[in-house]
Structures are given as structure tokens and as C-alpha cells.
A and B are shown apart, each in its own frame.
Chain A
Amino acid sequence: MGGYDFRLAGHLPKLSRTPADPYELPRQRRGRTPQMHGRYPDFDCLSQAPHWDALTRSLVLSRLEPAGPLRFFSAPEARTLEAFCDAVLAQDSEPRIPVLAFVDAKLAQGKLDGYRYQGMPDDRLTWRLVARGLDESARLGGAGSYAEAPVERRDALMDAFAEGTLSGGVWETLETTRAWQVVSRSILAAFYSHPWAWNEIGFAGPAYPRGYARLGRGLSEAWEGKEAAGADPGRETAGRSR
């Protein structure tokens, strides 16, 4: 890809023949992003934490604490589902946001979403069935489990799940497109509530009580992130895992 100009849209998946390689983006210089690359290499939303109200600050900072032991998923379920979450979010190297730990905590507390599709089991059972189904499908391809399958196979199974084309075994007992909705919405909520993800996309965070004064097109507060432009002088690929 070389240089980039985000005024243009050629990097977007629907417009580009070859999807942009995220590792071509600048390495994060301040704070962290998942996989340490991003559009806003000098922006760390956590640098604004002293300006947040205490209640919000304590909640957001708690997401950075090391995850405790899993309370809801078994160890084999967790191995499968961690690999699945990585596929959904393309987290293919460290540092990773520990998405499944957030999902596990929510399910262990019984925090569900206030509705269940007719014919679907409780969301907690749906998660367990998805883990079983992914392992079953991976074994059909010769792997010992989903997590042990090659990355291309994991991605292909994830895509097939999203498109509702998995069948056989557990998948026959589950409306797979509904099951995809159940698991994907929890995964997205966990990932995009994490400050590292906010750094990556240039979201400024809670902004309370300070708020914003410069609202118009192209305007920014002094403390908001600046988008990278041009080739990245400090490009590094050392962290790549594949």
C-alpha cells in the first residue's frame, strides 16, 4: 500500500480489490491499540481520564485490569470461543483485547439483553452450543478442535456461521443466523467498549463533564486525536504473527 490518504476511500473493503493490510498502518506511539496499529498513532484517550467524572473513570479503567479466572465457560469452551472471537475481530497478534473475558463476566452475572428469539434457547445455552458446533465443524476438516484448525479454516467457518450455511450436528438444533446475532452483538459490545479500540478508531471517550465546543466539519478539540497522513516513517512489522 505504501502511503495513504484517508481523504480518499480506496482503502475501504467495498471499494478496494485487495483489502488494506492493517499492519501497513502506523504503529501506535502513544497508548495502546489492539495489535498496536491504528489511524491515530499519537492519540491515547486514556490521557484524558483525569478529566472524566470519577464514576465513569473507574468503570472504563476497570476494563484494563487483568482478567480474572473464567466463571461461566469451561476451559475447552473458552479455547474455542477465544479463537472464534479473534476471527470475528481479526485479532491476529498481541496485544489483544480479552473479549471473551468480558462476555464470560456478563453471562456469569446473568446480564442478558432483554429478549430472546422464539425457538432459541437462553443466550447462555446458545453460547455453549456455538462452541460445540464450531468444534464439530472443525473436526470434520480434520482438526482436533476449532482452536487447533488453521487460521484460514477458522476464518472460513466463522464466515459460514455468519452466513447461516453451517449444518449438521449441533447446527441442526439451532437457528444459526439468530445464534450469530446473539454472539456477535456481545463480541462487538465487549471490543468497542475498550479504550484500546477507541484509540484505534479515534473515538474521544466519555467527555464528561467537559463536553465539546468545536463541533463543525473538520473541527477538533485540541485534545482529540489527529488522523495519520502520508507514509508512516516509523513503520514496524516486528509484531506480526503471520
Chain B
Amino acid sequence: MSGRRSKALPGALLPEDNDSALLLDPTRRGVPGRERMRRYRDEDEVDLLIIGCGAGGGTLAQRLARRGWRVVVLERGPFWDPDEDWVSDEEGAYPLYWNEPRVIGGSDPVELGKNNCGHGVGGSMVHYAGYTPRFHPSDFETATRDGVGADWPLSYRELRPHYERLERELPVAGQHWPWGDPHGYPHAPHPICGAAERSWMGARAHGITMRVGPVAITNGVFGNRPHCVYRGFCLQGCKVNAKASPLVTHVPDAIEQGAEIRAASMAVGIGFDAAAGRVTGASYLQDGRERFQRAALVCVAGYSIESPRLLLNSAAPGQPHGLGNNADQVGRYVMVQGACQVAGRFPELLRMYKAPPPEVSSEDFYETDESRGFARGFSIQTVSPLPIGWAEHVLADGHRGRSLREYMRDYNHWAVLGVLCELLPLPDNRVTLADEHDADGLPVARFDYSQCDNDRANIAFAKRTLHAIWESAGAQDVLTIDRYAHLVGGCRMGSEPEASVTDADHRVWGIPNLLVCDGSVMPTQGSANPALTIMALASRLAERLDAKRGSASRPRRRRRRGRGALAEPGRP
């Protein structure tokens, strides 16, 4: 494993070319340096304007600011300060979600909001569980291997160095991973709670292999990132700074290297010069005023709902159906994972609210097995809901009134396992513009979703597997909830302009200086949580953009060191 030893803390392995963990303050959680962050004027034509500061946009900004690019990131939500803005409370996490109006339809509508949509610096990684598995090599060629889904215009091999690099930057903790491309992790596995122990015992009894991790939560010395305190509120925003999100893993370094993160700025349209066939920047709303930031290159990174919505809302001469949508591909092939959860009941107290919800997982069922009667597969993970999540689980199993209260009182005796089923990319599962408008007068997104037969077979098999695990474990009772998790696709990359939105270098077909870099570019989703792969794609894109720009025009690399946390590392 490469990586450099910290001068400040002998023995601590830190990533190369990313000082975020050292730039953070050891005693406060907010990102230092915001007050001296470089500011660009709207009239400045910056090298790169990124729209959205989540897994894709945050990572890309850090990488290119490091290489001397002049980068501005527009982020619709706030620049979070975990000490000041976040609470250790389930209902109190409401402000972390994208709560603006959207319409959901289709025969199997997907709930949005807290389920899968973030806003603010850090994006939905602020409230993801923390699972960071890699995709398998097979995920990049499901059409060739299994006759379903799509082949990516790039291979696992091209992403692998970026996976490795990001696992050091987050950093990822877990046992050696035997599935897909087997690999280890930089931090050791975390201890697990009683509910995860029970889950693991059940899986073992059923002949299923499980492993601790992989989770992007520090488990050891890592710059000024504190160790996890196991309070169990990963999905409500990590007030500790132990769980990784771009807010703590990439934004501090991006700012130090001269990027501007412009929060509370909602991009509403992309400027397009029809004569030149190029984009010119983006208009955005800030404090109720519409402004326009000029840029040589624009990268949309608003995730699977907002990226298509912005392109569709940016119709221009020659692009009558939205930017990059002349082949009617924008917004199509949006995917979610089938994520039913089954809870098992045991005699002893398990107290699943303790320790991070992501603990042990299995990818034994990840690949296609023809004997199962459907293509592709699923993964199994512990989930551990807090009380409101548990109430939704109990209600979904059909309990109300006294029955609901009884199962709720029984909370501490239960362990919950979930699956992530790889549902297939379908053209009609798409984001379009609804008839209604938001408070700013913009058409809101409508997301239609319907399962296909392969999806239904996969979900049914996965659910049976969870029930079988609890039976093998000797569970006294079980409760089941059907749900979805994650979002990817909507602006997928591909080899042909007729069947995709971008090429392998994230360039929107026909508009050479417009990019998309977020989960929406994924042609398939595997059974893995998408965060790490979104970051790895951004890291790869940055490398390719900078290589293309070439050494001739390479600006000086800025190193503004010796201040703040760097000057006094490890202060207690």
C-alpha cells in the first residue's frame, strides 16, 4: 500500500495529495479556512464550475484545485458546521435531506427525501450509512456477461487505482474483502454490536460468509479526524467527524488549494452559446437574486434527480428538449436497489441503536447464478434502524395500535438485516419535468419507476434468503419491510450518443465543455452502495482532464501551508 507517513503524527498513514484530515481542527468539527476561502467574481471565467458538492463534485473540486485549476462549486444547500447545525437526533436530521417538492410515479414509486437525497456541502454522503464497498469487475460488463443491463465504456481496471486511493483518503475500515476483486482495507474492522453479532451467527448457521465492513469510519489515528464513539447516528450526520463525507474528506483540502465552495447557491440553468456549441457558465439563485458564473468548463454533479432536471430545464437553441437531450436519453435508466429488510427477534437484549448501523455484510449472492432463475444478484448488510425507522418497519409489517406499540416496546430484542438487490436499468424509469413549479418558479422533477420481472424475482429470492438466515439463527419472530435504497443513472455514460448522455470521459455528447460527474453517469449499479464508486469516477475524471490540459498550460501548484491545524497538529 502506498501512502505517506505523517510528519505530525509518526506512524499514522495518510493519503497522498489530500491534507483534509490535517486541515480539520482537532477540537471543533466545522471546516476551518472558510473565512479565508478564495472568492471568484461572477465575471471571472473560472477553469471549472461544478454544480453540486457531494461525492462527485466535492472529490472533483479537490483533485483539480490541487492541480492548480481555478474551481468554483455551486451548492444549493448550506455549508454545514456539524457542531452548530446538526443534532444527535433522528427527527432533528430533517434539514439534511432534499425536502423540496418532487413527484413520484410509475407502478413501483420510489420515495425520495430522507431515503436517498441530500443537500448541503457533502451531499447525501452526509447522511449515508457509511458502507463503501467497491463494485465488482462484472458490474462494468453485465450486458456481455449476463445479457442484461449495459456495458460501461470503461472497465474495473481503470477505476481500481482510484478505489485504492480513496480507501486511504476516507479511510475505509474493514476485514479483508474476499469478493469481486479481493482486497484489504487501510483501517482495521470496527467492533460490532449485539445485533450484528446475532446477524453474523445466523448467516454462519445458514452457510453464508459475512465480513465486518467496509465502512468509511476512522478506526485509529488519522490526522485530526476523531475516532468513532459508536453512538449509532450515522444516518443523521456524523457530529464526530469520524464518518467520511466530502465535507471532511475533500472540501478542507479543496479550499486550502484555492477552490471556492459557494453554498446556498441553486443552479437554475446552464448558459449555452449555440453558435459555438459550447456552454458558458451557469445561472444560479443566491439570496433571491439570479446571477451568472462564467466558466470554461461546466460539470453537473447534482445526482440522479437534480442533474437530469437541470439539463432538462436548460433548453437552448439547437437543444430544444434540454441540453444534451437531442437523443432523448437525459433522465432515463435511473436505478434504485431493492432494499427489503427483515428483522429477527431474540431472547437477549441486542440494543441495535448502539454502534454504526453498517457493520457486517456479505456479497455471496452478488454475481449471477442461473439456478436462482434471474440475472445478477444482491448483497446482505446489517442496518439497525433507530426508533422512527423501527416504527416504519413495524407498521409496514401490518401492525397498528396496540400491536404496533407492543413490537416497539420489544425494540431492544431485535436485529435487522437488509439486502441491496441489483435492479436493472430500464429506459422508462426516468426523470422528467412535472407540470408543477417550485418556489423559484422552476418545473420540479418527476421520477417514474416500475420493476421488471427480473427485479421482482431478485427481490423475492433475496427476501427468502433473509428469512432463511433468521430461521437458521433461531429467531423467535420476524418482521419484514419492502423498500428501496440509493439512486444512480439518469445521465448514463456509454459508447454511443444514441443510447447514452455522456462519453467515457463524462462529456455530454455534442457539447465538449459540459460534463456530468455524479451517480447519474452509472450505466449499472451492482449490489454495492454507490458512494465510493461515485468518488472513484470523479478521481479518474480529474486525472484525465488534467492530463488532457497538458503540461504546456499547467499552472503552478499552490501550496499554502503552515497555518491553522497544520501548524499545531494533534492539539488535544
A interface with B by C-beta (< 8 Å): 6-9, 11-15, 19-20, 22, 25, 38-39, 52-53, 55-56, 59-60, 87-90, 111-119, 155, 158-159, 162, 184-185, 188-193, 197-198, 200-204, 206-213, 215-220, 224, 227
Query: Quick check: A7 and B348 within 8 Å, CB to CB?
Result: yes
B102 touches which one: A115, A184, A206, A218 (CB < 8 A)? A115
User: When chains A and B are docked, how far (Å) is the Cα of A227 from the Cα of B83?
Assistant: 33
CB-CB under 8 A from A220, the residues of chain B are 349, 351
What residue in chain B is nearest A123 (Cβ atoms)?
Answer: B101
Q: How far is the CB of A1 from chain B (nearest CB, A)?
A: 12
User: When chains A and B are docked, how far (Å) is the Cα of A19 from the Cα of B97?
Assistant: 38
Lowest 6 CB-CB distances: which A-B pairs, in order?
A: A211-B229, A114-B113, A118-B105, A208-B88, A193-B91, A217-B194
| Known interface pairs A162-B400, A206-B231; A215-B477 also in contact (CB < 8 Å) | no
A118 touches which one: B349, B409, B446 (CB < 8 A)? B446
User: When chains A and B are docked, how far (Å) is the Cα of A93 from the Cα of B229?
Assistant: 39
Query: Quick check: A19 and B229 within 8 Å, CB to CB?
Result: no
B88 touches which one: A113, A188, A189, A206 (CB < 8 A)? A206
Query: Quick check: A208 and B229 within 8 Å, CB to CB?
Result: yes
Query: Quick check: B239 and A204 within 8 Å, CB to CB?
Result: no
B354 in the interface (beta carbon within 8 A): yes
Can you list 15 A-B contacts with CB-CB less than 8 angstroms, sorted by A residue number?
A38-B409, A53-B88, A56-B89, A87-B401, A116-B101, A116-B102, A158-B400, A162-B400, A188-B391, A200-B405, A201-B409, A201-B410, A209-B240, A213-B230, A227-B349
B406 touches which one: A13, A60, A210 (CB < 8 A)? A13
CB-CB under 8 A from B193, the residues of chain A are 215-216
Q: How far is the CB of A214 from chain B (nearest CB, A)?
A: 8
CB-CB under 8 A from B355, the residues of chain A are 212, 215
B207 in the interface (beta carbon within 8 A): no
User: When chains A and B are docked, how far (Å) is the Cα of A114 from the Cα of B77?
Assistant: 14
CB-CB under 8 A from A227, the residues of chain B are 349, 412
Query: Quick check: B405 and A60 within 8 Å, CB to CB?
Result: no
What residue in chain A is nearest B413 (Cβ atoms)?
Answer: A6
CB-CB under 8 A from A211, the residues of chain B are 228-231
CB-CB under 8 A from A6, the residues of chain B are 347, 410, 413
Given pairs A202-B349, A207-B232, A212-B355, 10 additional interface contacts (CB within 8 A): A6-B413, A12-B410, A56-B87, A119-B105, A184-B400, A188-B388, A190-B91, A201-B408, A208-B88, A224-B351
User: When chains A and B are docked, how far (Å) is the Cα of A8 from the Cα of B348?
Assistant: 9
A19 touches which one: B92, B101, B392, B406 (CB < 8 A)? B406
Interface centre among B353, B355, B409 (most CB of A within 10 A): B409
Query: Quick check: A13 and B403 within 8 Å, CB to CB?
Result: yes
What residue in chain A is nearest B345 (Cβ atoms)?
Answer: A9
What residue in chain A is nearest B86 (Cβ atoms)?
Answer: A55
B interface with A by C-beta (< 8 Å): 83-84, 86-92, 94, 97-105, 109, 111-114, 117, 191-194, 197-198, 228-233, 239-240, 345, 347-351, 353-355, 386-388, 390-392, 395, 399-413, 446, 448, 476-477
User: When chains A and B are docked, how far (Å) is the Cα of A204 from the Cα of B411?
Assistant: 12
CB-CB under 8 A from B349, the residues of chain A are 202, 217-218, 220, 227
Query: Quick check: B391 and A206 within 8 Å, CB to CB?
Result: no
| Known interface pairs A158-B400, A208-B88, A208-B239; A200-B408 also in contact (CB < 8 Å) | yes
CB-CB under 8 A from B84, the residues of chain A are 55
User: When chains A and B are docked, how far (Å) is the Cα of A144 from the Cα of B77?
Assistant: 48
What residue in chain A is nearest B193 (Cβ atoms)?
Answer: A215
| Known interface pairs A191-B391, A192-B388; A12-B406 also in contact (CB < 8 Å) | yes
User: When chains A and B are docked, how far (Å) is the Cα of A215 from the Cα of B406?
Assistant: 24
Query: Quick check: B114 and A113 within 8 Å, CB to CB?
Result: yes
Query: Quick check: B92 and A59 within 8 Å, CB to CB?
Result: yes
Query: Quick check: A218 and B194 within 8 Å, CB to CB?
Result: yes
CB-CB under 8 A from A224, the residues of chain B are 351
CB-CB under 8 A from B399, the residues of chain A are 13
B229 touches which one: A13, A189, A198, A209 (CB < 8 A)? A209
Q: How far is the CB of A66 from chain B (nearest CB, A)?
A: 19
CB-CB under 8 A from B386, the residues of chain A are 203
A117 touches which one: B109, B191, B387 (CB < 8 A)? B109
CB-CB under 8 A from A204, the residues of chain B are 351, 353-354
What residue in chain A is nearest B444 (Cβ atoms)?
Answer: A116
CB-CB under 8 A from B114, the residues of chain A are 113-114
CB-CB under 8 A from A25, the residues of chain B are 409
Query: Quick check: A215 and B191 within 8 Å, CB to CB?
Result: yes
CB-CB under 8 A from A159, the residues of chain B are 400
User: When chains A and B are docked, how far (Å) is the Cα of A206 from the Cα of B88?
Assistant: 5
What residue in chain B is nearest A213 (Cβ atoms)?
Answer: B230
Query: Quick check: A90 and B404 within 8 Å, CB to CB?
Result: yes
Q: How far is the CB of B30 from chain A (nearest CB, A)?
A: 13
What residue in chain A is nearest B354 (Cβ atoms)?
Answer: A212
User: When chains A and B are docked, how far (Å) is the Cα of A146 from the Cα of B310?
Assistant: 46
CB-CB under 8 A from B392, the residues of chain A are 185, 188
User: When chains A and B are docked, how far (Å) is the Cα of A224 from the Cα of B411?
Assistant: 14
Query: Quick check: B231 and A90 within 8 Å, CB to CB?
Result: no
Query: Quick check: B388 and A201 within 8 Å, CB to CB?
Result: no
User: When chains A and B are docked, how far (Å) is the Cα of A151 from the Cα of B391?
Assistant: 23
Query: Quick check: B192 and A215 within 8 Å, CB to CB?
Result: yes
Query: Quick check: A198 and B400 within 8 Å, CB to CB?
Result: no
User: When chains A and B are docked, how far (Å) is the Cα of A201 from the Cα of B406?
Assistant: 9
User: When chains A and B are docked, how far (Å) is the Cα of A13 from the Cα of B488?
Assistant: 39
What residue in chain A is nearest B445 (Cβ atoms)?
Answer: A115
Query: Quick check: A212 and B89 within 8 Å, CB to CB?
Result: no
CB-CB under 8 A from A184, the residues of chain B are 395, 400
| Known interface pairs A9-B476, A227-B349; A111-B109 also in contact (CB < 8 Å) | no
CB-CB under 8 A from A53, the residues of chain B are 87-88, 239
Interface centre among B88, B111, B239 (most CB of A within 10 A): B88
Query: Quick check: A118 and B109 within 8 Å, CB to CB?
Result: yes
CB-CB under 8 A from B350, the residues of chain A are 217
What residue in chain A is nearest B85 (Cβ atoms)?
Answer: A55
Query: Quick check: A216 and B411 within 8 Å, CB to CB?
Result: no
CB-CB under 8 A from A113, the residues of chain B are 99, 111, 113-114
Query: Quick check: A203 and B353 within 8 Å, CB to CB?
Result: yes
Query: Quick check: B401 and A90 within 8 Å, CB to CB?
Result: yes
Query: Quick check: B348 and A217 within 8 Å, CB to CB?
Result: yes
| Known interface pairs A114-B99, A115-B103, A217-B197; A207-B231 also in contact (CB < 8 Å) | yes
User: When chains A and B are docked, how far (Å) is the Cα of A26 from the Cα of B152?
Assistant: 60
Query: Quick check: B411 and A201 within 8 Å, CB to CB?
Result: yes
User: When chains A and B are docked, how far (Å) is the Cα of A240 from the Cα of B436?
Assistant: 49
User: When chains A and B are docked, how far (Å) is the Cα of A133 from the Cα of B411?
Assistant: 33
User: When chains A and B are docked, how far (Å) is the Cα of A55 from the Cα of B404?
Assistant: 31
